[in-house]
Chain A
Amino acid sequence: MKTRFVKFKEWLLLPGGFGIFTGMLMLGTMILLGIIIPNFGPYKPDEFIGDPFLPPSWQHPFGLDQLGRDVMTRTFSSVGIDLGVAFLGVSIPLAIGTVIGILLGLAKNKYVISLVGSLIDGINAFPLLIIAVAMLTFLGSGLRSVVVILAITNWARYARISRTRAVVVSKQNYIEAAKTLGFSKRRIVMKHIAPNVSSETVAYALSDFILVIVVVSGLSFLGLAAKPPMAEWGSMIADGRAYLAQSWWLVIFPGLALCWSAVSLSFVVEGISRRDRGV
């Protein structure tokens, strides 16, 4: 038991260890509360339980909202929605983008390379929020559309990273060696190129996660993603905006939860990048 503790302590003292640990702890707390409070707490997220605009008290630590719903229950029942949508909005583009990038990095056909390459540049030219807002006009608003839109647009960022990396990796000596040993092309791509490329795109995915959480909640804030009765941080903040002068708790608590999640991820990202650089 003691040796394990000593090992953990050594790990913690390596560069970035403290950041990774704090970030994971913060994120874990948020996810845990997001599971416990909506499921085992005394209230339901869309249950009317008392007077509207009841200020924070011991019984309702985050107060009640304009319809007399418990803000704390609503804040924590958003964890699953916000982080879940963001997770889909990161993992789907990660998979699509990595594959397309590898294929593009290994492609020989000049026309395909320049066509897909400039399509990637074209998509990346738009700020993510703008292209998402524009596509929502035609797809219709809703959380499902947001996931679809992120899948259609966000892959291009991953494809750009993965392509550059695939070009570099495919020129390495160990790929040459594998070719000389007569391994099949499929095996070289799957066992030698893909793992080296995906380590890079997965690292980017972590920092992209923060961006996507902010974009999803931002779209909900504009009234384009999550719809009113649903508890979601962005839409809760948008709802509370009209009552900001009298009831600050409608805005501040969902906002703090949103910050907490994003900040915890950014600690992890920064910790990992410091560990890689060894400073």
Chain B
Amino acid sequence: MLKNQIARTILGRLGRALSVGFWVMVISFAIMRIIPGDPASARLGGVEAEAIAQLRKQLNLDGSIFQQFSRYVTDLLHGNLGISLQTGRTVIDIIGSTLPLTIYLILFSTFFAVILSIPIGTSIAWSGKAPIVYTFRGITAVILATPNFFIAMVGILIFTVRVNWSPVFGYEPEFPQNLKYLWLPVVVNTLIMTSVVSRVIFSSVIETKEEEFVETGIIRGVGRRRFFWFYILKPSMAPTVVLLSYMMGTMLGATVILETIFTLPGIGREMVNAVLTSDYPVVQGILLIFGVITVFLSFVGDVIAYLLDRRVKI
């Protein structure tokens, strides 16, 4: 009976994820078409009509809007996202070669952020001393309001210009060498993420502290470790997981800027290059991937949060 209900809730959430996913597809299809004017002639300028017609065909802009959409969906189901106008590579290939780096960047930052946030958030909340709490709130507020490219610039100024710990340009894909290029972007991301996550853990622990079961735990003399994990931390886990899945989506958006600054060959810089060269199929394909990943992340985050705490509404 209980298992049934869990399955039903998760299936319901999956249904919502799929319907949002459908709209993500519609939006990335529509983005080339809702804007006044014809992208094909805008890109080619005033050349002969034949070339424009051919480009329209290549961009799937000929025929009625329904024909275009059905072709778009069929292509998508065959794993065909179009061909780059700039390099002639398939968009799938471009995404496949640039996405992994971005994903590593985000996963590492998330991992470090979680490791740092748990002790910071809980210890500050547990001590509850006003000066510490105010300092913590102030510092995290400043970090959160600062744009990531400015934090990155200050990082470069310190670690590349003052002490030469990190090269400014370039990238080497081999394993031990690439860490030299990756550590500073990861630190910037981790710093931002830690500020958000530790704040949520902090306020969640503050709330938990007042609950009666915590007092009961103290009176019963529960072991220290067990007390920390089960009494203090576990109730904070569900909101933290939801926040993490949301933050990973935001980080994905922020890579557009971060990878441009650090000249890392990830998907974000690829998108900026495609925008600057009006490479429509690449922009469209990357937009779709970003949307799909974000929908997937929020689905996974919600499901994990629900499994951790059944009271969570998803």
Contacts and interface: CB of A to CB of B under 8 A. Distances in A.
| Chain B associates with chain A | yes
Interface stretch (B116-124, B180-188, B252-260): B252-260
A106 interface: no
Interface in B271-302: 271-272, 274-276, 278, 280, 283-284, 286-287, 290-291, 294-295, 298
A217 B257 CA distance: 11
B295 A262 contact: no
Contact of A259 (B145, B261, B284): B145
Contact of A118 (B20, B250, B276): B20
Contacts of A139: 35
A129 B249 CA distance: 11
Interface residues of B, number: 53
Given A122-B24, A218-B147, A237-B150, A134 B253 contact: no
A138 B61 CA distance: 14
Interface string B10-49: 0000001001101110111001100100010000000000
B136 interface: no
Nearest to A267: B141
Contacts of A123: 23, 27
A122 B153 contact: no
A244 B147 contact: no
Contact of A222 (B150, B256, B298): B256
Dominant SS among interface residues on chain A: helix
Contact of A127 (B35, B145, B253): B253
Nearest to B141: A266
Interface in A252-266: 252, 255, 258-259, 262-263, 265-266
Contact of B142 (A131, A134, A263): A263
B253 A258 contact: no
B237 interface: no
Dominant SS among interface residues on chain B: helix
Interface in B112-156: 137, 141-142, 144-147, 149-150, 153-154, 156
A270 interface: yes
Interface residues of A, number: 44
Given A237-B149, A241-B153, A263-B142, A218 B257 contact: yes
A159 to B, nearest CB: 14
A33 interface: no
Contact of A210 (B145, B160, B249, B290): B145
A244 B141 CA distance: 26
Contacts of B222: none
Contact of A126 (B24, B137, B284): B24
Contacts of B260: 222
Most B CB contacts (10 A, CB to CB) among A137, A217, A265, A267 go to A137
A218 B156 CA distance: 17
Interface string A44-75: 00000000000000000000000000000000
Interface of B: 16, 19-20, 22-24, 26-28, 31-32, 35, 39, 137, 141-142, 144-147, 149-150, 153-154, 156-157, 160-161, 249-250, 252-254, 256-257, 260-261, 271-272, 274-276, 278, 280, 283-284, 286-287, 290-291, 294-295, 298
21 contacts: A122-B27, A125-B20, A126-B294, A130-B287, A133-B272, A137-B274, A137-B278, A137-B283, A218-B257, A222-B257, A222-B272, A222-B275, A224-B275, A234-B149, A252-B153, A255-B147, A255-B154, A259-B150, A262-B147, A263-B142, A267-B141
Interface of A: 118-119, 121-123, 125-131, 133-139, 210, 214, 217-218, 221-224, 234, 237, 241, 244-245, 248, 251-252, 255, 258-259, 262-263, 265-267, 270
